[in-house]
Structure 1
């Protein structure tokens, strides 16, 4: 497995795999900002927005590939605000359904921390659904719960869910 920060050009080479992974994640119930029905054109539009953000230097797109096939991804949004040069937010940790429970999510989150530190970001933030596999992963990685928000968002089927906010301080 290779973990790498993809620039816009490399990411575009894998846009179909990224779109498939996003669509599968929504279909499987992931709480990543989308509701059903969700299709490939919507996924491709999402990735175009991500590619623009990568090109503009707002975020990093970190991908895991196995034998040239992208099987996981996570985004690190580098807060551009003048009063937040130390902060970044983690978005949309996705692992292809055929490759889950193989340590890919863990490897991607470790890469997020390395990349954040390399960019002098000492505070990371994220939110996730209460009770999901991601919550367990973040707790294992020593992320600290800041709080929860009932009915913060709905799942892909429209059911209200609780979000949990996490933070992690990194030693630079």
Structure 2
């Protein structure tokens, strides 16, 4: 498993990561896209994430086999002064050719460790209610905060409920609120202010 630490590292994998995103959506996962998602649009999404990786606002982990990426997960960090202790888990995906090997759970654990190392104490996510992903999060110790009906369409266009989850993360600082500082970051035209350069 590899953490992509720069936008350049992400851009080197844009095409195979786009294939992974397309495969996961077409397999039925609700990731913000419909089943009509084309590789070019998936690649554009990944390219759009590169500046946030460089800014330290988006962390990405990837697993691979001889054919390329088999899975990925991301963390999106919050830069508002009162929210630097939390992050959102995003885009947990495993390619159909690699399922049944425990990769989703391994990716989830890697993101949780990475969050703790970055000083994050609270993780959140949303996922389709009654989906395999929801079952994974429940068995991995995530707590359901509530369910919103008709929140998003599944890949086939049917509105589905979404369950919001959170998990408290224990780290080396024993729950202290992390102090962020460093360079200013501008991502997609938005100035995120004082941005911590995460490891």
Measured against the shorter chain, the TM-score band is: over 0.9
Q: 1:93-129 CA distances to partner (integer Å, 9 max, x unpaired)?
A: 0111100121110110000111000011010000111
Cα deviation, residue 68, structure 1: 7.4
Quote the residue 1:5 is aligned against.
3
**Large movers: runs of 4+ above 6 Å:** none
Quote the residue 1:70 is aligned against.
69
Gaps of 5+ in 1: none
**Equivalences for residues 54-93 of structure 1 within 5 A:** 54-67=53-66, 69-93=68-92
Partner SS for 2:17:
helix
CA RMSD of aligned residues (A): 1.2
CA distance in 2, matches of 1:84, 1:140: 26
Using the TM superposition, name which of 67-76 and 50-59 deviates more: 67-76
TM-score, scaled relative to structure 1: 0.95
**Equivalences for residues 37-116 of structure 1 within 5 A:** 37-67=36-66, 69-116=68-115
TM-score, scaled relative to structure 2: 0.82
The structure with more helix, counted as a fraction of residues: 1
Structure with bigger gyration radius: 2
CA distance in 1, matches of 2:72, 2:2: 10
Cα deviation, residue 131, structure 1: 1.2
Gaps of 5+ in 2: 172-199
Cα deviation, residue 66, structure 1: 2.6
